[in-house]
Amino acid sequence: MRMSWSVGPISALVTRSALAKPATRLYPVERRTPYARTRGHIEFRIDDCNFCTICAHKCPTLAIQVHKQDKTWAIDHSRCILCGICVEDCREGCITLSPLPCPPMRAKEVLSFRQEHEAPTVKVAAPAIER
Ligand code: SF4
Ligand code: SF4
């Protein structure tokens, strides 16, 4: 049984594909605007963190590590499932859910933060000079 070919639909398809815009973007140079409520990646602001470790204990995938003594907070983005529990449970508002995707990484890496606040120092006033 011989099949009959029609050139018309194929040439129309080729022409349409040749004239259409590319179906992909030149990421990361060209980025898509995120949809409302897109869960992109976790962002952290260390300034107000009191290292209570609640976020680390509540995280279901153990993506967060907190060391109170060292004043460090770390996240392994490859473990994070973007559930948002840490965002809801941080009483200090240090953790937010960004709609933008995680920045590209060449290797699996843990992002660490260290709080550099100096402990308040007590200044002793110099004794007044008597004349
Ligand atoms: S980020 Fe929030 S919940 Fe986590 S240790 Fe800091 S203050 Fe506590
Ligand atoms: S969003 Fe969920 S999985 Fe990701 S770090 Fe927070 S608690 Fe863990």
| Model confidence band, residue 76 (pLDDT cutoffs 50, 70, 90) | very high
Mutation probe of ligand 2 site: the residue of 54, 79, 86, 90 with most atoms within 8 A of C-beta: 86
Q: What percent of the chain has pLDDT over 70?
A: 85
| Model confidence band, residue 32 (pLDDT cutoffs 50, 70, 90) | confident
pTM of model > 0.85 = no
In this prediction, residue 89 carries a pLDDT of 98
Structural contact between residues 66 and 73, judged by C-beta atoms closer than 8 angstroms: yes
In this prediction, residue 53 carries a pLDDT of 97
Rounded Cα distance between 18 and 14, Å, is 6
Tell me the mean pLDDT in the region 11-22.
90
Structural contact between residues 90 and 55, judged by C-beta atoms closer than 8 angstroms: yes
Structural contact between residues 54 and 89, judged by C-beta atoms closer than 8 angstroms: yes
CATH numbers and ranges of domains, the chain: 46-116 (3.30.70.3270)
**CA-83 nearest atom, ligand 2:** 2
In this prediction, residue 129 carries a pLDDT of 56
CA of 75 to the centre of ligand 2 (A): 9
Which amino acid belongs to residue 25?
R
Strand ordering across the sheet containing 64-67: 64-67, 72-76, 110-114
